[in-house]
Copies of this chain bind each other. A is one copy, B any other.
Amino acid sequence: MATINDVAEKAKVSVVTVSRLLNHPEVVNAKSAEKIHKAMEELHFQPSQIARSLAKRRTNTLGVVMPDVKNPFFNKWFRCLEEYATIHQFSMLLCNTDDDPEKEMRYIKLMQAHRVDGIVIVPYAKKSIEYLIKSGQKFVLVDRIFKDLEVDFVTTDHFRGGYEATRYLISLGHRRIAVLRGEGYIFPDAERYSGFQKAMQETGIQIDENMIMNCGLDEGKAYQQTKELMNREERPTAVFSFNGLMSLGFIQAVQEIGLSIPQDVSLLGFDEIQGYGIFRPKVTHVIQPIKSLGEFAFDMIAERIKKADSVRQQIFLKPLLIVGDSCIQI
Chain A residues engaging chain B, CB cutoff 8 angstroms: 1, 44, 46-51, 53-54, 59, 61, 68-70, 72, 75-76, 78-79, 82, 86, 91-96, 109-110, 112-115, 135, 219-220, 223, 245, 248-249, 252-253, 256, 274-275, 277-280
Contact = CB atoms under 8 A, between A and B. Distances in A.
Given A68-B79, A75-B75, A49 B95 contact: no
14 contacts: A48-B115, A49-B113, A50-B114, A51-B54, A61-B93, A69-B69, A70-B76, A70-B79, A72-B274, A92-B94, A220-B278, A248-B274, A248-B275, A256-B280
Given A54-B50, A275-B219, A278-B249, A44 B135 contact: yes
A50 B52 CA distance: 9
Contacts of A110: 91
A279 B76 CA distance: 24
A282 to B, nearest CB: 12
Contacts of A59: 50
Nearest to A68: B79
Nearest to A46: B113
A114 B91 contact: yes
Nearest to A71: B75
Smallest CB-CB A-B distances: 9 pairs: A274-B274, A46-B113, A219-B275, A248-B275, A223-B278, A94-B94, A252-B278, A49-B114, A50-B53
Nearest to A226: B278
A49 B278 CA distance: 47
Nearest to A134: B44
Given A92-B93, A252-B275, A253-B278, 15 more contacts: A50-B54, A51-B54, A61-B93, A61-B114, A69-B78, A69-B79, A70-B76, A79-B96, A91-B110, A91-B114, A92-B94, A93-B94, A94-B94, A248-B274, A252-B279
Contacts of A274: 72, 245, 248, 274-275
A95 B53 CA distance: 20
A53 to B, nearest CB: 5
A114 B89 CA distance: 12
A146 to B, nearest CB: 22
In this complex, the member of A59, A86, A275 whose beta carbon has the largest number of chain B beta carbons within 10 angstroms is: A275
Nearest to A109: B46
Nearest to A135: B44
A75 B274 CA distance: 14
